[in-house]
Structure 1
Amino acid sequence: MPHVIVEYTDNLGADARIPVLLETINGTLIAQDGVYPTGGIRSRAIELHNYRVADGKEDDAFVHVTLKIGAGRADAVKKRTCDTLFDAVKAHFADAFSRRYLALSLELVEFNESGSHKRNNIHDRFRRER
């Protein structure tokens, strides 16, 4: 953990720059002072082709980021993470935001550990690199 899912409307086109955004997201989470183990970070993007924004009369676009983390972190840690991550998303889309109608949002979801199953040997690589 954490997992990040970016949903974005296909009308963003080249403004989306999704590979750069995912790199930024992972880097932002890695930079959170070890709160999130690097080997557990997953980010992915889903381009939406079927959507409707507002009244549907403009070429409105949106990007919604869902951050999923395991339960148990302090509220201050969660707030810092969300603030930092949302700032990175806003910076990524600043140019597009200045030129077009665009809604940006971020949502935090905490997993209950009793309902989350994981198996991951990627962590081993990062333990060996220390």
Structure 2
Amino acid sequence: MAHATVEWTDNLEGAFELTALLRLIADEMRLRSTGVFPVGGIRVRAIRLSDYVIADGAGPDDAFINIDVKMGVGRSEAFRKAFFDQLFAAVKDFLGDLFERRPLALSMYVEEAEGWKHNSIHRRFGGQG
């Protein structure tokens, strides 16, 4: 399991390619995790935020993108550090000069989660449901 939720402020509409960002995160999880994240358990979604206050609330161009990642327990500290350092760098690179064009905060938080799930998608990849 690796689920990512990208929250982004609506004043960024049109400033970056949202679908491409979601695909980038999914591809990183699928291709660069060296099998640590089962492909059938990867989920990446976005939530457009229209109600928010940033800093003192006085900067109408202030914006943020936050990425929350939940993954199953058991990944090593070394894997988590290397993988998420690389993922964060890839997202920063993807956003390019957006940080120079406007006030923008980017954050990413990673959480190990224990949960209950039933997933028949794994069968497409040779795993159990």
Shorter-chain TM-score category?
A: over 0.9
List structure 1 runs of 4+ shifted beyond 2 angstroms: none
Question: Paired residue for 1:38?
Answer: 39
- Decide which structure has greater helix share: 1
Letter in 2 for 1:62: F
Q: Secondary structure at the match of 1:39?
A: helix
Question: Paired residue for 1:47?
Answer: 48
- Paired with 1:83 and 1:54, the residues of 2 have a C-alpha distance of 26
Q: CA deviation at 1:95?
A: 2.1
Q: Secondary structure at the match of 1:28?
A: helix
Q: Secondary structure at the match of 2:100?
A: helix
Letter in 2 for 1:127: G
TM-score, length-scaled by structure 1 = 0.92
TM-score, length-scaled by structure 2 = 0.92
Unaligned 5+ segments in structure 2 are: none
Letter in 2 for 1:99: R
Q: Deviations over 1:71-100 (max 9, x none)?
A: 011001111121121112111212211211
What is the alpha-carbon root mean square deviation over aligned residues? 1.1
Question: Paired residue for 1:15?
Answer: 15
Q: CA deviation at 1:9?
A: 0.3
- Paired with 1:88 and 1:25, the residues of 2 have a C-alpha distance of 9
Question: Paired residue for 1:120?
Answer: 119
Give the aligned length. 125
- Paired with 1:30 and 1:80, the residues of 2 have a C-alpha distance of 15
2:87 to 76, 85, 94: 85
- Paired with 1:52 and 1:89, the residues of 2 have a C-alpha distance of 23
8 Å Cα contact 1:15-1:93 kept in structure 2 = no
- Paired with 1:40 and 1:89, the residues of 2 have a C-alpha distance of 21
